[in-house]
Amino acid sequence: MTLLDLSARDREGKAATAVRPVWDSEPLRYLDEHGAPVEGGIRPTPALLDPGALLRGYRALRFARAFDTEATNLVMQGRLAVYPSCRGQEACEVAAVHALEEQDWLLPTYRDSAALVLRGIPAVDALTLLRGTWHCGYDPKQWRTMPQCTPLATQGPHAVGLGLAAKLAGDPAVALCFFGDGATSEGDFHEAANSAAVYQAPVVFLVQNNQYAISVPLHKQTHAISLADKASGYGMPGIRVDGNDLIAMNAVLAEAVQRARTGGGPTLIEAVTYRVQAHTNADDAARYRQSAEVEYWRRRDPIDRLGRYLTARGALDAAVEAEIDEECERYCEQMRAQFAEEPSYDADEMFEHVYDEMTPQLKAQREMLRAEEAAK
């Protein structure tokens, strides 16, 4: 018998208890679940509501979905070793990438492959690691995009370092760092948030609260009602936003990036969203959640919501949809072709990048491996 029964939460995370009766802060949003402007919602600047810009966002959402779907197919065909899908979270991926300029740094997790391709990295490079090799497949400095980070929250301090470096160098660059909701329980999340605030580093912490960490729901991860509330403990603004509403996401990120860029320090954003797929292809989500819950969130799909909004305003019609369909199909076809053949793997290269200069010991091991290969 516990004092506070946290299992009594509905699927949106509302706790119905005497001690903490309400989920007090509804996330900021512009669109309701049907894609209509919500009453009392945020009021974005006209630039953020520009139909051209929103159509660009819509295309990016569709593109992210197509990429994610294709990658999921590739893993089922054995072309990728593993793939964590971002289905349902595309508005977070798109808004994050679109909020950044070329000189800004992006720090993705394993969940954010879509953000890599949205940033311009070719799919075949972006998926190199998940294909089963030892390196990230692209030059992080060229793309200002760190390798996807797997040890949870450990990319946070790197974002602080990148941001602090930009600040000390006098560059107007910003670092945007993704986290999952589960990762907010890690020490590195706390250390990064605290340090960023102390240094007033130009960093945006974007938590995609997709409700689960593999099988563990958020209420077992934290006793807090809102992850954004944590920000006040660090002395930075914390914003809770509907992560399936691209317009709201764009507005919140634009403000946070602008604040960081102009010396206003870091911001913590909690984007409330949902992981529609299992954790990865290797996971079985039926063991820990109901399909009704998934259906509930499917009805709040970020693409449908923006699509309906744009359609109602005449910015999107069947012809444009068909055009986008075709673009996506062409991209996926290209992906399939690129992944049809296995690249060759060179054992020698395993030794080449451990140090700038190979140690005598590594040279000896490389020789051993070469001799083993030659004897085969």
Partner 1 sequence: MSQGTEQISAPAAPLTMAKAINAALSDAMAEDDKVVVFGEDVGALGGVFRVTDGLAAKFGDERCFDTPLAEASIMGTAIGMAVYGFKPVVEMQFDAFAYPAFEQVFSHLAKMRNRTRGAVPVPVVVRIPYGGGIGGVEHHSDSSESYFAHTPGLHVVTPATVEDSYSLLREAIDSPDPVIFFEPKRLYWSKANVALPARTGRIGTAAVRRQGTHATLVCYGQTVPVCMAAAEQAAKEGIELEVLDLRSLVPLDDEAIESSVGRTGRAIVVHESVGFGGFGAEVAARIAERCFYRLEAPVTRVAGLDIPFPPPKYEHWYLPDADRVLDAVDRAMAAG
Ligand X SMILES: Cc1ncc(C[n+]2csc(CCOP(=O)(O)OP(=O)(O)O)c2C)c(N)n1
Interface ranges with Mg ion (CB under 5 A): 180-181, 210, 212-213
Tell the smallest beta-carbon distance from residue 310 to partner 1 (Å).
38
Q: Contact region for ligand X (CB under 6 A) — 12-20, 117-125, 211-219, 335-343?
A: 211-219
For the question of residue 279 being annotated catalytic, the response is yes
**Helix-strand-coil percent breakdown of the chain, rounded to 5?**
50, 10, 40
Catalytic residue, chosen from 131, 240, 279, 305, is 279
Tell the smallest beta-carbon distance from residue 100 to partner 1 (Å).
16
Among 32, 188, 283, 321, binds partner 1 (CB under 8 A): 188
Give one DSSP letter per residue of 10-69, joined into a string: -TT--B--SSS-----PPB-SB-TTSSBPTT-----HHHH-HHHHHHHHHHHHHHHHHHH
Which residues are CB-contacts of 312 (< 8 A; sequence separation ≥ 6)? 35, 36
Give yes or no for residue 90 binding ligand X (CB under 6 A).
Answer: no
Count CA within 13 A, CB hemisphere, residue 27: 29
Binding mask 144-163 for partner 1 (x = CB under 8 A): --xx---x--x-xxxxxxxx
Q: Which does 168 bind (CB under 5 to 8 A by kind): ligand X, partner 1, Mg ion, none?
A: partner 1
Residues 112-131 contacting partner 1, CB under 8 A: 129
Among 169, 292, 318, 374, binds partner 1 (CB under 8 A): 169
Among 48, 116, 152, 328, binds ligand X (CB under 6 A): 152
Report the C-alpha gap between 351 and 291 in whole angstroms. 47
**150 vs 290 by CB, closer to partner 1:** 150
Task: Work out whether strand 212-213 and strand 216-217 pair parallel, antiparallel, or are unpaired.
Answer: antiparallel
**113 vs 210 by CB, closer to ligand X:** 210
Closest C-alpha to 64, from 78, 48, 85 = 85
Tell the smallest beta-carbon distance from residue 267 to partner 1 (Å).
18
Compute CA distances 144 → 65, 116, 139, 140, 150, whole Å.
Answer: 23, 10, 8, 5, 18
Among 21, 120, 132, 151, binds ligand X (CB under 6 A): 151
Residues 254-283 contacting ligand X, CB under 6 A: 275, 279
For the question of residue 288 being annotated catalytic, the response is yes
In this structure, the number of other CB atoms found within 10 A of the CB of residue 215 comes to: 14
Query: Structure tokens of 365?
Result: 């091991």
For the question of residue 275 being annotated catalytic, the response is yes
Q: Residue for token digits 């995009």? A: 145
Among 4, 214, 312, 337, binds ligand X (CB under 6 A): 214
Task: Work out whether strand 105-107 and strand 212-213 pair parallel, antiparallel, or are unpaired.
Answer: unpaired
**123 vs 213 by CB, closer to ligand X:** 213
Report the C-alpha gap between 42 and 31 in whole angstroms. 9
Long-range CB pairs of 119-124, under 8 A, 24+ apart, other chains included: 119/143, 119/145, 121/145, 123/67, 123/70, 123/71, 123/331, 123/334, 123/335, 123/338, 124/335, 124/338, 124/339
Give yes or no for residue 180 binding ligand X (CB under 6 A).
Answer: yes
Among 89, 109, 195, 221, binds partner 1 (CB under 8 A): 195
Tell the smallest beta-carbon distance from residue 266 to ligand X (Å).
19
Query: Structure tokens of 325?
Result: 């369909």
Tell the smallest beta-carbon distance from residue 294 to ligand X (Å).
14
Among 57, 182, 266, 302, binds ligand X (CB under 6 A): 182
Report the C-alpha gap between 96 and 323 in whole angstroms. 25
Tell the smallest beta-carbon distance from residue 266 to partner 1 (Å).
13
Whether 176 and 204 have beta carbons less than 8 Å apart is answered as: yes
Among 113, 155, 195, 210, binds ligand X (CB under 6 A): 210
Which residues of this chain interact with ligand X, rule CB under 6 A? 111, 150-152, 180-183, 210, 212-214, 275, 279
Which residues of this chain interact with partner 1, rule CB under 8 A? 129, 134-137, 139-142, 146-147, 151, 154, 156-166, 168-169, 175, 187-188, 191-192, 194-195, 198, 349, 352-356, 359-361
